[in-house]
Structure 1
Amino acid sequence: MKRFVMAAAAAAALAAAGAPAAHAATFEVGMEDEGLILSNQHLAPAAVEAWKNFGVDVVRIHARWWEIAPADSSTTKPSGFDAGNHLDPQYDWAKLDAAIAMVRAQGIRVMLTLTGPGPLWSSSEPAKRNPRYKPEPKEFADFSKAAATRYKADVDRYLIWNEPNQKGWLQPQWEKISGKYQPVSPHIYRSLVRAAQPVVKAADPGAEVVIGELAPVGNKPISVDTPMRPLAFLRSFGCVDDRYKSIKTGRCKGFKAAKGDTLGYHPHPQKYAPDRVNPDQDAAQFGDLKRLFTTIDKLRARKRISISKTIHLTEFGYETSPPDPSSGISTTLQTKYLQQASYIAWATKRVRGLSFYQWDDERVQNLGSGTKRYSGWQTGLRFNDGRPKPVLSIMASPFVIDQKPGAKSGLLWGQVRAEAQGQVKIEERAKGSSEFKTLTTRNTSADGTFSYRRTLKTGASYRYVWTPKPSLLDPNPQPRTSGIIDLSKKEKSRYKAAAALTTTS
C-alpha cells in the first residue's frame, strides 16, 4: 500500500531502504520517547539509529488526537471536516508521518497509541471546556479509522488510549452518587474501545489491537478525578464486583464486553525493586504481575473481556537521582533493576515484551514543594543533556543470574539485543583470581536470549562474551563483554544483575 508521509520523511525512508531489520523477536525489546520522536525531531534521527544499534525491536509512538485534528480549542467541529478520512486537508499528520518514517527507515517496527485527549469539540459536553471530559466514542472511532487507514503499511499494532485510569488522560474518573463515589472512567473507556476496535480491524485487518494501557497505581477516591487503581478499573471495565459477580444495573445495563487482541500495561515500580510486591491488592506494579494475570483470567473466564492470555508491557522505567532526589533511585540501582526486570519479564511466559521509557530524561521543572519540586519524568537511559547513565552500558547485553536462596546452582541468563553472531561464551573468574576462563559456548535464540544452568562457585564472578555481526563500517568486529556479576558481593534478591561496564571491564 502507498505510504502517505511528508516528502522529506519519505525521502529519508527511501535513502535508508537497505537498513537491516531488527532481529525477529519472540521476546520484544521496545523504546518510547515522545519528547524526542515527536517534539524534538531534529535530534531524533541519531536517537533512532542508536536504538537500532541497541537491538530495539519496536518503538511506541503516540498519535496525539488533539494535535492532529483541527480546531483543538473550539467547542464545535469544523464545517466540512471528514474525520474518518485521513486525507481530509484539515488533519495535520506531519509530525507523526515523520516520526513513523524515521523509525521504519531503521528497520524497527512501530506500535501506535491512538490516544486523547481530543479536540474540545470531541467531548460529549464541550461547554465544560475540558477535552478530557467524556470523549464521544464515535468521534474517537473516526480518528482511529483515519489513523489505521493512513499507517496500515507501516504499523502492525495499535494501542487504544493511554492510561485511562489517570485523570491526565480521561475524566471524570468517578462520580458521586448518594454520597458514594462510583467508577466512571472504565465505562467511558469500554465505549471508546468498542467504538475504535472494529474500525481499526476493518482498516487494517492483520493488525493487533491492544487495550488497557493502564497505569499501575491509583488511590481511594476523594474526588471525581482521583486516579483509579488498575485492578479495580479492570473489574469495572468488565462490569463485575469485587467478587467477580456480574453487575447489570447503572452503567452496566446492557453490558457488552470490549474486544482486543492483547492487554497492554505500564508496570512502573516507582522505587520498588522489580520483585517487590505492593501491599495494595488493587495495584499492580512490576512485582505484582501474578495479581494482574489473576484478574485478567477471571474476567476472561466470565466473558467480561475478550483478549488473549498474553500481555505487552508497553511502558516501564525507573526515575533516577540525580536528577530527581524526591522520586528517583540511584543510577546503580537503575542499572540493576532494569536487568532484573528484563529477566523476570522474559521468564514470565505470558509477557511478550518490555518497552523502556525513556531515552532521555525530561527537563526537571520546579512546580512547587515536595515531589513537585522535581516534576517531569526522569526515567531516561541518558540525562537530559545527552550524557549516558551507567545503565546504557549494559542495554545491548543485559546479564542476570537467578539463584534461589540456599541453592548451589543458578540460571545464567542474558540477551544480546544488538545484531550479533549468534553465540556467547560464558566465562567464570574464581574468587581471588584475575583471569576469566570460558565455561561453555551457547547459541542464542532468535530474540538474542540464552540461558544456562550450572553449579556456581562461592565468591566467583561471571560474564559473557559476544561478537557483533560484521558490517560495512566494521567488517572485523571485536568481541565485547557483558557486565560482571560478582557473587562475593552480598545480594538480598535471588536475581543477581551485572554491574555497569567500565573501560576496564
Structure 2
Amino acid sequence: MRLLLAVFAALLVFSAPAHAAGPQLGIADDRLLLQGGAEADKALLEWQQNGIQTVRIYALWSRVAPSSPTGEYSWDQLDHAVNRVVGANMKPILTITGPGPLWVSRRSERGETRYDPDPKLFAEYARLVAERYADRVDTYIVWNEPNLGGWLRPQAACFGKVCNSVSPHLYRDLVNAAYPAIHGADRTAKVLIGAMSSRGSRLTTENSNHTPLAFLRALGCVDATFKKQSNGRCKGFKAPQADGFAFHPHGVLAAPEQVFPNKDDVSIASLSRLTSTLDKLQKAKRLKSTTSKLGLYLDEFGYQTNPPDKFAGISLAQQDQWLQRAAYQAWRNPRVKLFAQYLWYDEPRSLNNENGGWQSGLRFTDGRAKPALKHFAMPFALDAGKGRLWGQVRTRETRSVKVQRKLAGSSSWKTIGTRKTDSQGYWSWTTRLTVGASYRYQAAGATSATVKRQ
C-alpha cells in the first residue's frame, strides 16, 4: 500500500500538463532579415538557439512590383529571405501587403501609394507570391494593420464633423479578391486575415486609426449591437473568408495583465474581446472560416524600451519581466496558435535622436543585448491569483524542469518538484505558493529568472 501511495505521489509531481500544447514561437524583424549578409545570418543562428520556429516576413507590394505596369518584378531580396529561413529549418509566414506602387491605386492622381488599392491588381500580386513560394511557405497573411492609416487609406470619409468608416470595406474587397487567388496558387495554404493593431481612436479625420473591434464590425457590416447593415458600402455585402486571424496585441505602456479602457481596443490581457467579436461575426455569417472557431496568430508582440525611446518605452527591467508575463497570457488563451516577438534588434532612431522607428528589440541597434534576451529562451511567470507557476523551455531540449523555492530569509534553494513539458516546451504547476518565497526553475543546464510571491 505504501509503495502504491509513493508511486501515486510521484505521478502527481511528474504528471503531464493538462493544458493543450501552447502556441508556437515566432519572430518578426524584416529590416534585419531582408538586408541579408552576415548580420542576418548571425540573427538566424541566434533565433535557432532560442527555439524560434516561425519567421514572419513582409512580401511588400512596392518592394517587389515594378514602378510601372510594364516593368519587371524584383524577387531577389524576398527570395533570399525566404530561403535563409527555410535553410535554417524555420517556417516562413508571408504577409502579402501594401502599400504598392502608385499605379495600383484606383486614385493614383492623389499621389498616395496607400490610397484605395485595386483589389483585382492585389489579387494578381497575391497569386504571384503564393505561386512562387508554394513549395516553401504554408501560411500567408492578407495585408498588414489595415486599421491604421499608415498602411491603408482612406480610413474614413468625413463630411463636416461626421466621419464614416471606409478602410474596413476596402479591406473586405482586398480579402475577397486575395483569398481565392492565394488558394488557387497554393491549394493547401493557410490564409490569415486581420493583422490589426491593438489600438485606435475615434474617427475625426480621413486617416484616423480605427479601433480593432470597430474595424471588425464594419468589416462584417454590422453595427455595435451586431445588427446587419445592408446600405451604403454594405450594399451587396459578401462575407470575407479566413483560415485564421492574425493580430498585434502590443501593450505599449500597459502591463500584460492590463486591459485597455476603450472596449474596442484589445490588449493581450483582453483577447477574449477579440474572439467574442469574431465568434459573433461567424455565427451571423458575416465572416466565413474553414474552422469552427478562428485561431489567433499573434505575429507581432513587443515592448519598446527606454532607453532608447523616451516617449513610448518602458524600462529595460520591465521589458524583461513583461515579455515573460505576456507569454503566459498568450498561453492561457487556447485559441492562440502563434506568439511572435517583434523585433530582435531595435530600429534606428531619427536624426535628432528623439523619436522614430520601433525599439522593442532584445538587442539595441548596435547589437548590445538587453536584459530581456537573457530570459527569452526560458520565460517564467507566477500567477498568485491562480496559485500557478508557469514556464517554457523554448529550445525544447528537455522534457522536464526542476522547480525550486527559496524561503524568505534563507540563502539556499530547494527543489520542490519536477514537471513535464509539452511538445512546445510549456509546463505549469498549480500549487500552494508561499508568501515571501522566491521561485525559479532549471532545465537543460540553464536557470530561469527569479519571481517572488508577494
Q: Where on the TM-score scale, by shorter chain, does this alignment land: which range?
A: over 0.9
Separation in structure 2 between the aligned mates of residue 445 and residue 437 of structure 1, nearest angstrom: 24
8 A Cα contact 1:53 1:419, kept in partner: no
State which of 99, 110, 113 in structure 2 corresponds to 1:117: 99
TM-score, scaled relative to structure 2: 0.92
Separation in structure 2 between the aligned mates of residue 130 and residue 304 of structure 1, nearest angstrom: 31
Correspondences of 1:127-166 after superposition (within 5 Å): 127-166=109-148
Range that drifts further, 102-111 or 173-182 = 173-182
The amino acid that maps onto 2:30 is E
The question of 1:413 aligning with 2:379 is answered: no
Range that drifts further, 114-123 or 451-460 = 451-460
The question of 1:309 aligning with 2:294 is answered: yes
Aligned residue for 1:30, secondary structure, equals strand
The Cα shift of 1:26 comes to 4.5
The amino acid that maps onto 1:290 is S
State which of 224, 237, 240 in structure 1 corresponds to 2:206: 224
Q: Could you give the per-residue CA deviations for residues 298-337 of structure 1, whole angstroms, max 9, x where no partner exists?
A: 1111011113332111111111000011110001111111
Aligned residue for 1:455, secondary structure, equals coil
Separation in structure 2 between the aligned mates of residue 169 and residue 206 of structure 1, nearest angstrom: 28
| Residue equivalent to 1:8 | none
The amino acid that maps onto 1:200 is I
Gaps of 5+ in 1: 1-24, 82-89, 468-478, 491-505
Aligned residue for 2:26, secondary structure, equals strand
| Residue equivalent to 1:376 | 357
State which of 250, 258, 261 in structure 1 corresponds to 2:232: 250
Separation in structure 1 between the aligned mates of residue 161 and residue 309 of structure 2, nearest angstrom: 39
Between the two structures, name the one with larger relative contact order (CA 8 Å, sep ≥ 6): 2
Separation in structure 2 between the aligned mates of residue 234 and residue 138 of structure 1, nearest angstrom: 22
8 A Cα contact 1:163 1:212, kept in partner: yes
The Cα shift of 1:459 comes to 1.7
The Cα shift of 1:40 comes to 4.8
| Residue equivalent to 1:326 | 311
Separation in structure 2 between the aligned mates of residue 366 and residue 320 of structure 1, nearest angstrom: 18
The Cα shift of 1:206 comes to 1.2
| Residue equivalent to 1:56 | 52
Aligned residues: 431
| Residue equivalent to 1:459 | 436
The Cα shift of 1:421 comes to 2.2
| Residue equivalent to 2:367 | 386
Aligned residue for 1:424, secondary structure, equals strand
State which of 88, 92, 99 in structure 2 corresponds to 1:106: 88
The amino acid that maps onto 2:342 is Y
The Cα shift of 1:268 comes to 0.7
The amino acid that maps onto 2:318 is L
Q: Percent identity of the aligned residues?
A: 42
The amino acid that maps onto 1:188 is L
Separation in structure 1 between the aligned mates of residue 420 and residue 269 of structure 2, nearest angstrom: 30
TM-score, scaled relative to structure 1: 0.83
The Cα shift of 1:453 comes to 1.6
The Cα shift of 1:178 comes to 6.6
Separation in structure 2 between the aligned mates of residue 366 and residue 297 of structure 1, nearest angstrom: 45
The amino acid that maps onto 2:251 is P
Separation in structure 1 between the aligned mates of residue 317 and residue 280 of structure 2, nearest angstrom: 39
Correspondences of 1:200-239 after superposition (within 5 Å): 200-239=182-221
The amino acid that maps onto 1:339 is Q
